[in-house]
Homo-oligomer: A and B are copies of this chain.
Amino acid sequence: MANTTLLYYSKLLVRCSAYEKDGSGGGRVRVNGAAHRVPLQVGAALETKINRSLAGLMRPPVLSQPPTEEEAEGRRSQRQNIPSEKQTVDPFRQAVIVEGGVRYRQTVVVRSYEVGPDRTATLETVLNLLQETALNHVWMSGLLGDGFGATHAMITNNLIWVVSRMHVQVDHYPIWGEVLEIDTWVGSSGKNGMRRDWLVRGRSSGAIFVRATSTWVMMNKVTRRLSKMPKEVRDEISPWFIDRHAIDEVATDKIIKLDTNATYVDSDLKPKRSDLDMNHHVNNVKYVRWMLEVIFIIL
């Protein structure tokens, strides 16, 4: 905390710290939130005074001693605490490695803001939890580099993961407060791909809620082209492969292109800031949210 510079805008009720800027800009104030009074008086329109002086916030004041790039990076890795060796237990995420030391299992409680008006988890929540457990699996493997699930050798080679196929089968929707056990594991998929499967079960009943499978390939971050899987990446991940399928897929029907006669169309979709993930991409989860907005009328 010693290096923290706090800026008070008491009139605004905004308080920001500057030290977390990752060393790149030297003292630009980060404002990705604002301490505020949300004036949600019952029946009254939304009122706020935050806007009044935000223009002033955009002009950054000069800070004393912004952290160097190494200092900022060091703090960040300490806070993230990504392991460099394989772990078998993660107490904070309530996870263990099972089945021969390669299959991941995490206990998760469905949260109040992860359910829709009918109190069951939304499909968006399901997909978020699949993404989360996949990343936590890589986290425990000791292979996670500084990226969205990329391994050390992938980072050396400028490679990122992209999903090429996903198949999610929901048997039942979990409800608010329900305790889930989510298993995920990986397997081979051809010469250059990786398969990842999931099984979501109710912890008390053991009933299966969701089965899912997916295929992942590698893309070069710079050229934006698909890449072969380098031998060193295969050497990293192949010890984790299991040959087990969460869904028995009888056929892999080709998905037909939509034409102008589609039943449900929304051509007015623009990605918002809150649609971007940490790769600055609109990922599969947000696409599904958009699809659901268009096709479902439930109320």
Residues of A within 8 A of B (CB): 1, 4, 6, 10-11, 13, 15-17, 19-20, 30-43, 46-52, 54-55, 76, 78-82, 92-94, 107, 109, 111-113, 115-120, 122-124, 126, 128, 131-132, 135, 139, 148, 162-173, 175-179, 202-205, 207, 217, 219, 224, 226, 250, 253, 255-258, 262-264, 272-274, 276-278, 280, 284-285, 287-289, 291-293, 295-296, 298-299
Chain B residues in 8 Å Cβ range of A38: 163, 166, 168, 284, 287-288
4 other A-B residue contacts (CB within 8 Å) besides A38-B168, A43-B224: A32-B116, A116-B273, A117-B278, A272-B293
Top 5 closest A-B pairs, CB basis? Answer: A33-B123, A35-B169, A80-B177, A113-B128, A117-B276
Chain B residues in 8 Å Cβ range of A165: 37, 39
**Does the CB pair A219–B164 fall under 8 Å?**
no
Return the chain B residue nearest A256 by Cβ.
Answer: B49
Tell me, in angstroms, the Cα distance from A111 to B285 when the chains sit together.
Answer: 14
**Does the CB pair B172–A118 fall under 8 Å?**
no
A229 to chain B, nearest CB (A): 15
A262 to chain B, nearest CB (A): 5
Tell me, in angstroms, the Cα distance from A292 to B19 when the chains sit together.
Answer: 22
Q: Can you list 17 pairs linking A and B with CB atoms under 8 Å apart?
A: A11-B253, A32-B118, A32-B123, A35-B169, A37-B167, A38-B168, A40-B284, A42-B164, A46-B287, A49-B256, A52-B263, A55-B263, A93-B109, A113-B277, A117-B277, A117-B278, A272-B293
**Does the CB pair B48–A258 fall under 8 Å?**
yes
Chain B residues in 8 Å Cβ range of A19: 172
**Does the CB pair B172–A33 fall under 8 Å?**
no
Tell me, in angstroms, the Cα distance from A15 to B209 when the chains sit together.
Answer: 11
Chain B residues in 8 Å Cβ range of A76: 175
Indicate whether A39 sits within 8 Å of B255 (C-beta atoms), given known contacts A31-B296, A50-B291, A178-B80: yes
Chain B residues in 8 Å Cβ range of A43: 224
Indicate whether A255 sits within 8 Å of B47 (C-beta atoms), given known contacts A1-B207, A126-B33: yes
Chain B residues in 8 Å Cβ range of A169: 13, 15, 35
